[in-house]
Structure 1
Amino acid sequence: MKRNIILSAILATGLFSGFVSAHDLGDNLPKKGKPTALQIKNGGTIQVTKDNFIAAESDKYFFEQQEKSGINHFTHDRILLTMDTQTVVRQNRDTLYSKSIWDTSGGVTFELPILDTYQTLQVIDENHRSIAVLYAEEGKNKITITPDMLSSGQHVWTVARTQVDSNTPSAIEDGNKKQDMIKGTANSDNLYIPKGFDQVTRENIRLSLEDDVLKLDFTKAMGAPEEKTIKPVQNLKDRQVELFHARGLTSMGFGGLSSEHAFYKVLLADDRSGVCQTMTFNTPPLTEKGFFSITTYGSDAYVHTENFALSSRKDELQANKDGSYTVNFNCGDTAINNIDVEAGWTGILRMYQPKSEEQIVKYAKEIKQPHSL
């Protein structure tokens, strides 16, 4: 009876999903599983199955990025993510992003500046395996990548994450300056050649893998290539990556960090119709430069509302008196830390630079999912 009264009040005040202003996707993003014109242009006839999905999805990200930035050149996102600037599924506005495609056949050297704030550069090969994760810290900020370090191919996709203090013009300008300090030097410039995967079957397989989201173990989903010696400068742990989990993570969002660098908690509310849901959690066990965020998505894994995310950056998340955090979903403008969601929504709690993998995994397991009041 009490639940019915609450639901009636929510409907009466316009907090149901139908009252959230949804945003249509731009032409650069697929509609209901239909590949974009760019994807079709760079596709081919090789049918995609679960067995070759990782290679096909990686191929898509490689040729899309090369179309945008060319070879051996960073493209910097100069503002935090908005609905209109999203380019991939489950993107987020945690940091400023810098992306690129590089030819490693002659060797390529990456270097980050030394900063007192969070900045990383992740290097990923054509099989979605992490080759290195650099930090803007002494001894962790420089590496030379050669083809023998990769699990497949000779090209790498890189993503740099640069944190900003807040989403203000001055903070963004400061972050842009830090982006410009990222260096890459390659000795060869062979273009990445798309492999010829059929884009319709690739997208259908990606959508079918959504059903596995709660079965994924992220500690087994991303890591360095097997049978390769991991050097200290790569900043990676030796871990056993399993196909089921690696394939699922690739479908969820390309470029995920392995668990010693970040951890992802998938949020699936007990009622995703759009009625008010809530969750409370303690501060994650992160290092001094670490931070966390919650980002929400529509049923297609893209952003459709203006108010879709909150992070531990300055002036975004309000803490409770005991230091914990309560985040609400479609509970109205007067609710603390409220995010607007639409029917069928999902979310991700992202936690960067944990104190240890063991601590963050234990912590994530104890977090209660969003639930009804």
Structure 2
Amino acid sequence: MKRLTLLATIVATCLSSQTLAHDLGDHLPKKGEPTAVQMAHSGNTPVTKDNFIAAESDKYFFEQQEKSGLNQFTHDRILLTMETQTVVRQNRDTLYSKGIWDTRGGLEFSLPVLDTYQSLQVIDENHRTVAVIYAEQGKNSIRITPDMLSSGQHVWTVARTQVDANTPEAIAAGNKKQDMIQAKAQSTQPYKAKGFNQNDREDVRLSLEADVLKLDFTKGMGAPEGKAVHPAQNVKLRDVELFHARGMTSMGFGGLPSEHAFYKVLLAEDRSGACQTMTFSAPPVGKKGFFSITTYGADAYVHTDKYALSSREGELEANPNGSYTVNFNCGEDAINNIKVEPNWTGILRMYQPVSEDKIVSYAKGVKLPHSPQ
């Protein structure tokens, strides 16, 4: 019964037109309304649940190409703020570098060897992860060809570069690491939008948000279906099911497969804005792994300045026993307090787990935010 109550609550929230206390700028799309760029690429192909993944991927591909051009990265030089967000459910875990690339003739990526976390994820036109490489010896290069993709010849890439702290010096050091990412493409054929109807696509995306509590993240993201995977790709073959795959695509494009990161949706016991709390042990992540909690308003955008905490230095204070307590709207004196608005949601993100089995088991045991006892 409790699960059904939570589901009903989030469905109502997704469909709500409630005005948030902190309105966002005009650079962000309004809920249910495609942007001018999206409408400029809109066409006559209807979008249904059956072809939503292709339509949503298409949107991300043409939007990124408009921003960065072809075969080059656009680097985010600072961690995410309320003013710099561009899509739903972004986070400030790392510095991000994104681009659209043509794989025809071969496409090569390489990362430096670093003592901190840096990864590069390659995603095809069907939102399948073709490869994940790391800034580690033996795991830091990949060559992509069209035959490795489940659809098309272009890929969307996102590199994640961790910084030691949210300070000018640490950010500058992270920028230098971003500039060390290397790419070489042989073909310069631009990505062409597929002509999906953008109003349809947005309607379907919003309708899928009601499925969030039913999603199995281990079945939502994975390697291209029906393709052989070689070790350099560093991804698992897995059974990706349409229901979970399109739900994950609608929830946040570009999520990492479960062996590389895991995501737990945080739905509080009371989402009115009243004080809520949660305590959890440190997730089982590797030496360079890390974790964060990011919160969002009812429209899945950030609406407060203090909306997230990370295990990065200087952000998240541990309890004496090594566990962590995070509070939500419990006052400035509360440990690890995040400010949230009514009908908020959150995500616990855990990067580079020691194993998929261990992180999945751990996440199941994390108690959701609840009212203080």
Report what 2:335 is aligned to.
336
Question: Residue type matched to 1:145 in 2?
Answer: I
Task: Say if 1:110 and 1:185, in contact at 8 Å, map to a contact too.
Answer: yes
Report what 2:139 is aligned to.
140
Question: Residue type matched to 2:288 in 1?
Answer: K
1:38-61 Cα deviation digits (max 9, x unpaired) = 110111121111001000100010
Q: CA deviation at 1:27?
A: 2.5
Report what 1:195 is aligned to.
194
Q: Within 2, Cα distance between the matches of 1:62 and 1:183?
A: 20
Question: Residue type matched to 1:141 in 2?
Answer: N
- The 5 A counterparts of 1:55-66 are 55-66=54-65
Q: CA deviation at 1:179?
A: 0.1
Q: Within 2, Cα distance between the matches of 1:252 and 1:108?
A: 29
Report what 1:256 is aligned to.
255
Q: Does residue 279 of the first structure (1) align with residue 282 of the second (2)? A: no
Report what 1:169 is aligned to.
168
Question: Residue type matched to 2:280 in 1?
Answer: F
Task: Say if 1:27 and 1:36, in contact at 8 Å, map to a contact too.
Answer: no
Q: CA deviation at 1:24?
A: 2.1
Report what 1:13 is aligned to.
none
Q: CA deviation at 1:23?
A: 2.9
Q: TM-score, normalised by structure 2?
A: 0.94
Q: CA deviation at 1:29?
A: 2.0
SS in 1 for 2:229: coil
Q: Within 1, Cα distance between the matches of 2:23 and 2:98?
A: 25
1:62-112 Cα deviation digits (max 9, x unpaired) = 011000000000000000000111111100000000000000112110000
Task: Say if 1:329 and 1:339, in contact at 8 Å, map to a contact too.
Answer: yes
Report what 1:91 is aligned to.
90
Q: Does residue 236 of the first structure (1) align with residue 235 of the second (2)? A: yes
Q: Within 2, Cα distance between the matches of 1:108 and 1:28?
A: 33
Q: Does residue 100 of the first structure (1) align with residue 99 of the second (2)? A: yes
Question: Residue type matched to 1:362 in 2?
Answer: S
Q: TM-score, normalised by structure 1?
A: 0.94
1:273-326 Cα deviation digits (max 9, x unpaired) = 111110000000010000000000001111111110000000100111111000
Q: CA deviation at 1:140?
A: 0.6
Question: Residue type matched to 1:265 in 2?
Answer: K
SS in 2 for 1:84: coil
Structure 1 segments unaligned to the other structure (5+ residues)? 1-20
Task: Say if 1:287 and 1:355, in contact at 8 Å, map to a contact too.
Answer: yes
Q: Does residue 310 of the first structure (1) align with residue 312 of the second (2)? A: no
Report what 1:4 is aligned to.
none
SS in 2 for 1:269: coil
SS in 2 for 1:106: coil
Q: Within 1, Cα distance between the matches of 2:68 and 2:23?
A: 25
Q: Within 2, Cα distance between the matches of 1:358 and 1:330?
A: 33
Q: Within 1, Cα distance between the matches of 2:43 and 2:28?
A: 19
Give the number of equivalent residue pairs: 354
Question: Residue type matched to 2:95 in 1?
Answer: L
Q: CA deviation at 1:227?
A: 1.4
Q: Within 2, Cα distance between the matches of 1:368 and 1:163?
A: 27
Q: Within 2, Cα distance between the matches of 1:27 and 1:61?
A: 19
Q: CA deviation at 1:28?
A: 2.9
Task: Say if 1:22 and 1:305, in contact at 8 Å, map to a contact too.
Answer: no
Question: Residue type matched to 1:161 in 2?
Answer: R
Question: Residue type matched to 1:273 in 2?
Answer: S
Report what 1:296 is aligned to.
295
Q: Within 1, Cα distance between the matches of 2:343 and 2:42?
A: 30
Q: CA deviation at 1:217?
A: 0.5
Question: Residue type matched to 1:34 in 2?
Answer: E
Q: Within 1, Cα distance between the matches of 2:28 and 2:45?
A: 22
Q: CA deviation at 1:30?
A: 1.5
Question: Residue type matched to 2:132 in 1?
Answer: V
Q: Within 2, Cα distance between the matches of 1:273 and 1:38?
A: 35
Stretch of structure 1 that moved more, 260-269 or 199-208: 199-208
Q: Within 1, Cα distance between the matches of 2:357 and 2:36?
A: 43
Q: Within 2, Cα distance between the matches of 1:306 and 1:344?
A: 17
RMSD of aligned C-alpha atoms?
1.1
Q: Within 2, Cα distance between the matches of 1:23 and 1:142?
A: 43
Structure 2 segments unaligned to the other structure (5+ residues)? 1-19
1:149-194 Cα deviation digits (max 9, x unpaired) = 0000000000000000000000000000000000110000111000
1:237-294 Cα deviation digits (max 9, x unpaired) = 1111111110000000000000000000000001111111100000000100000000
